Each structure stands twice: as C-alpha cells, then as structure tokens.
Structure 1
Amino acid sequence: MSSLCQKIRFLNILFFVFANSMVWASQSTDSASEVVKEFHIKLIPDFVGQKLLIFKEEGVVGKSLSIVADKDGKQSVISKASFALPDIRNEYSPASYDGFAVAVLSGQEKIVSVSGGQGEDLLYKYASSRAGDIINLTTREDGNTESVFNVQFQYDASVKKIVVSKVLLVSSNSECDRSILSVYALPSNDLMSIPFEEFDGAKAFEYLKKLRSDFLAKKIGSEKLFSVSVTSNFEKALAAFKIGDKAKLKELMGNMLVDGGSSDSCAPDSYVVEKYYYPGMVGWSNDVGFLFAEAGYYQEAIELLKVVVSENPDRTVAYLNLADAYWGLGLKELSAENYKKYSLLMQQSGKFAKIPKRVGERIK
C-alpha cells in the first residue's frame, strides 16, 4: 500500500473517531465496571478484534453497552451507549423488571435476521436490509411474549456512525409453541437513525409501547415480511402438488402448522391468519389455503380462506377452494353456499364453461 493510501486510511479513522465524539479509553482503567457478557462482532470498518460488551457499572441503575477493539496491543472503547439497558419496573408486577435482551445477528443483503420473544433467530425477506453484523435489542416485558420489538443497529457508512437501521415488531403465538408468527417492519418512527451513543433505552421502551398501540390501531404504516424458510417450504409443497406427490405434499404442508401438530393440539384459528394472510399478496395466501386443503388440513385451509374471501370478495377461485375445504370436513351446507358464490362469479365473468363438474354435483 502506498504511503498516500496509508495516510488517507489513517485520516478516515481519525474522522470516524472525531465524528462520533469517541474517546479512546483502556477497558482495564475502569475498575468499577463489570463485564456481564461479551459478543464477538464485526461492525465498524478498519477496526480489528471488535467486541460488544454488556457492562454493569457500580452505583448505576441498569447496564451499558460498549464496543471495544484492539489498539496498541490492548482493547479500548470505541463507542459506548451508557443508557441502553435500563432496569424498568413492570407496571403490573413491581417486583419484576422490563428492558431489552441483547444479541448480535448477521445481516444479509435483502435478508433480515429477527429475534423472537424466546430468543430464536429467523430470517425474513426485506428489500431495505443490508449486509453486516447487527446489534439487536429485543424488548422484554413481564407477561408479554406475544408482541416484542427488535431495535437493530448497524454501521452506516454515509454518516460514519452506528445507528438504528430497523425497528421490527415480532408477533408470536401464545397458545401453541410460542414460535414467531409474523414480523412487521416499521419504517417511519422516531427511533430510526438514532446514533448508538445517544440511544436512551428507557425513553425508547416507552416510545415502543406507544408505537405498538398505534400499530394495533392501524395509525401507522408497516410492511409484513416473508419468512425465508416458509417461502422455501411453500415452493417445495407447490412443486410436490404439481407432480402429484401427495405424501410429500402432506409432509411439507405439515411443516407449516405451528408446532407441527394437529388441529386438536393447536387450534388453527389461533395462528393461521396471522402467519399466512398477506393483504398485499392475496394470491399467495389463497394458494397456501388451497395446498392446506389438498394436503388434508381442511380446518387450516378454512381459517385462511375465510379471510381471503372476506377481505377480497371478488377473488373468485378462493370461493372454490373454500368450498372444497368445507366439503373435505363434511360441512356440505357451507360448501354448497361457497360453490354457488363461485358459480355466480364465474358466470358474471363469462367463464361458465370452465366451472368444474364437481361444483354442480355438490350443489345438488
């Protein structure tokens, strides 16, 4: 490397330090601090041996986060969020504390890692996501594992800072295996782009509670993300259906049941719609319902397809799929009702000749 390049690289490092008001300080000089946990991380360019440390400082309520890296043969602090991890008394159970759980996740281009209430990490498609390690703070609330937030920090090269890059709302099932059902990206909110050093966990926690209320009241926009594993499984199931492999189809659609169980052990109405209904991708949701029915999971198909036709009354083929699912359960009156609706829509669109023979037979 030329001496000019070395000078430029050195100046870039100095600028980064100056822009973030970072003070190099030896980790060993803070004798009143205790490292509670550490994570290896690769977050900031040009620094080696980076670690994320959770600190407990004497006389301070809560914990802080520090990013350290190698310098002159020892590790020194390059960024610190002093108020990131507060101890927040739970309003319903004063003896317990709320706050944030910390994890380091791996981000990919157009793929985001998500942490659920039980700490499981799953991948979701998200066009706005970029590659690089992530500091992930997951909200912890006593008595609430159904709806948690992921506040994610990444290095932003445009401002040469570690900032909040994503705020995600993660919904989990409360009645079955407590697995993640859905993930929503909330692009417009006050936490976006806040620098790591300025993050105040107590204020953020209260703001997120309000954000959840606004989300449930549909006052804010959001994007429901697709699970990478669910999408892959669905594509395999569709391929199995097309070649007539019913055993494989049943196995793959069984993978899409929460807890992998039956309707008796985990009621479909507790999770199917939240997990598989996408208002912006109604055709996909309809196809999932169709494959559930073809695999013999009629109740799951019914729960999903009822919402498809309710929210999209002109979705003609969904009535046929719903009618077939009702027929599979022996609910012939409900089946006939939906066959009739399907037939009427087909006639109105001039496609009467394409109505399957079974429709007329089952209506009778």
Structure 2
Amino acid sequence: MIYKIFITLFATLLFNQAYALSNFELERLSDIDYRDNTNTKINDINLKNISIKFNKKNKVKSYTDEEGHYIPAHNSIEGYVLKGNVKKKFLSEKYVYGSGENVFDISCSKNGSNYLILMIQSYNSGIRFGSLEFITHIYQINENGLSEIKEKNISILGSGGEIVFDPSWTPHYKYYNKKLLLKRLYETKLCAEPALTIKQLGNNKGDIKEITKNYLKNYLIIDSISGKTLTSYNNIAYYLEKAKAYPEAIYLLEKIIDKYPNRTVAYINLGDAYWGLKNKEKAKQAYSTYIKQMKEKGKERKIPKVVLERIK
C-alpha cells in the first residue's frame, strides 16, 4: 500500500515538473517569437479585400487519469475568411498542448501575386524536455479569398516540424521564428525582398507612398526597432505622415513609442498623424504627452504654437 502511494506521489511530482516551463525552456522560447496565450484570443488579420478570423476550440480539457497521469488538453484552431457577408472556413488544425499556442502571419507579394504565410506553434510538454511543434501554411490571396499552395509550402518550409528543448539545443526545424521564416521566403523568391534598406528609406530615398503596413511589418521583422534603427524608423514615420499615409505612420510611431516611451519627437509626429485622420481626441493625447516631456526637459519654449492651439 505504502509502495503504491509512493509511486503515485512520484508520478504526480514528475508530471507536475514536466508541465512547468524550466528556465532553459523559457530562455529558448524567447528566441522563437513565442508567448503563452492559451487563454487569449488570436489576433484577426485584415488584408486589402478580406479579413481573417481565428477561433480556438477546447475539445478535451486537461485532466489527471485514474493512475495519476496528466493528460494534456486536446484543442483546435479554425480559420475563417470573411469577404463582405460571406464566411468560409479555410483552416482546421488539431493538436495537443501542455502550455499554449500561437499563430503568427506574414503577408508579402511578388509580381502582382499576394501571399499569406501562417505559422501555428503549439507547446507540448514532455516528461524530460518540452517541445514546440510548428505547422506552416502558404496561401495565395485572390478574389475569392485564399487558395492554399501545398507544393510551395512543402518545398519552401517543409510543412513545419518540431524543436525539442534538450540541453544540446539543436533545432530540428530551421525556420522557428519570424525573421528566419521571412528570410527563407526572400531566399526562395516567393516574396519580393525590399529594394531599399531601412537607412535608405530613413534618408528619404525611394517613393515613400509605396510603403504599406505589410511592408513595414516585414521591415520590422528583419530589422527591429533598436538604438541602431530608431532614427531611421522615426524619419520614415515622419515622411509617411507628410505624404498623408496616416495609418502607416501611426502604426510605425506606436511601435516606436512602445519600445521607446521617452522618444519625445514621436509623440508630436503621432499627434500630427491622428490630426490628419481627424481623430482629434487621440491627437490631443499624443500632443499632451509631447508637451509634458518637453517641459520635463526644459524645452517648453520650443513647443510649436500650432500644437498648443490644437490641444485647447
């Protein structure tokens, strides 16, 4: 009897340890664009003519069986294309996870063809080491919604794979984060690589009006906002605002502020962009932060009169 109790307690302890993320696993997850969003909604994707929504379904909740074994939840992710009043399912993936799942997307184009690449990650706990499973899909965007291109998916991305978090850290799947994935799409010529660098765009080279939100997303994947790229990205946002590309300017400026909340000049640019969209409430919020930071830096005299007039 005592023997059986000991075995049960040992098994429970073992499985509890197995399904808790170790420091090693957390460190590796930081390299893989992973976040534990088990209980949160997966973001929708809005493209030019269609929108895409995801629905997570909990098929079987996690439980402990009669022998004390932890059985992870069985779940699924379903994707729907919405065009006007028409709703059509295009994705249904089932999996077992121990901690959480993510979906991230990359949109790109080449020679007039537009593509959507989806990467589904699911974290699976193991008795010794946890693992991440990757499922990939490549879709061509057309008038009717999405058409999956399975042969390109297999030849370019290998239809996904797995990484086991063992101490040797030898990933079996090569394209385990957005940067590696996008570089692979450029390398295989599925997506057109931007002709200009961030620095060139920041120096006002090329046609700024051609910079779409998807282009900005891809630029940010390859060259994230950092001390090295901050000035260039701020300049690009300024040029976008002056070109009346307000949504794109706002998207980039909010990314800058999220990373560098004390970037004072970004707030006046953000205020100008919202003002251009006639969203005066959000413009005033941005201007107010700009004024506050300018006063804290002893630069109150340099605040443009137009900003002070707009917040009245």
Give me the TM-score of the superposition, normalised by structure 2. 0.40
Q: Give 1 or 2 for the bigger CA radius of gyration.
A: 1
Give me the TM-score of the superposition, normalised by structure 1. 0.35
